[in-house]
Amino acid sequence: MENIYDIIIIGEGIAGMTAAIYAKRAGASVLILEKNAVGGQASLSYEIGNYPGFDNISGFELVSHISKQVKELKVDTRYEQVQKIQDGKIKSVFTKNNEYRCKAIILCLGASPRKLGIEKEKQLIGKGISYCAVCDGAFYRNKNVAIIGRGNTAAEDACYLSNIANNVYIINRKSDLKAQSILVSRIQEQVAKEKIKMINNSEVVDVIGENKVEAVKIQDLVKNVTYDLKVDGIFVATGRVADTDWLDDLVEVDENGYIIVDKYKRTNREGIYSAGDCTNTVLRQLITSAADGAIAGTNAYEYVKNIIL
């Protein structure tokens, strides 16, 4: 049957590229569809210290290594945003201008930064509110910035920005950070040098400024008082949400919007698999995304190899 791929992979992050490598090496015809750029969120990490085989590597470098493997395998890759999927024995994937058909799909949709959900957030994105320290940190050289969050991303962003900004504030709803111990140690070192200042048991309730960020209004959750903190930029690092809202009940998701998969990375729809941060995995790391992609790519190929049309 002409013009039908064995597998279409939606998303060109770590999971999607690994799935492509495994499926293509097994003998499948593969198409990757990516709405933005290669690498997804992984490409924005300025320092990765826990990926096996590398003492220290940037996200961009790691993504480049994997992307090179994909290109050498001559995997068909197109930069188009998928708008709809039609299920069936032969599945149709629709972008704005094209329809692609395949026997199996692997959803590697990743996750996007969680928004603060406060007034003026949308208005001030790019005008002082950012979700990526590596992308926008250079704009705040010798300025004051606030990081909102308490996990690994917040800690990594704070360490990165402490080498750029004048003052870095971490605003944390709890009394401590929920980050890896090595990151917490780095934060403590920077706190001792007064490069980073912790504002614990507090949350941002408003952003002050019309055309740019001028300050944040902070509520002290212990003293139950509010006050303003002058900053030039805000970096939001409060977690991520799965990019699954457009699927329209195509596959089963959990209460948080993550795609439910089994150990073979199968969804509840025959011939549709999913891998990486968009799934109900117990750990969302680059290494687990790669492992998920390998499992999904292998099992999707086994499915198309045995499918009877």
Catalytic residue, from 135, 176, 245, 254: name it: 135
Catalytic residue, from 76, 87, 136, 206: name it: 136
Read off the tokens for 85. 């999927």
159 given a catalytic annotation: no
136 given a catalytic annotation: yes
135 given a catalytic annotation: yes
Catalytic residue, from 76, 87, 132, 206: name it: 132
Catalytic residue IDs? 132, 135-136
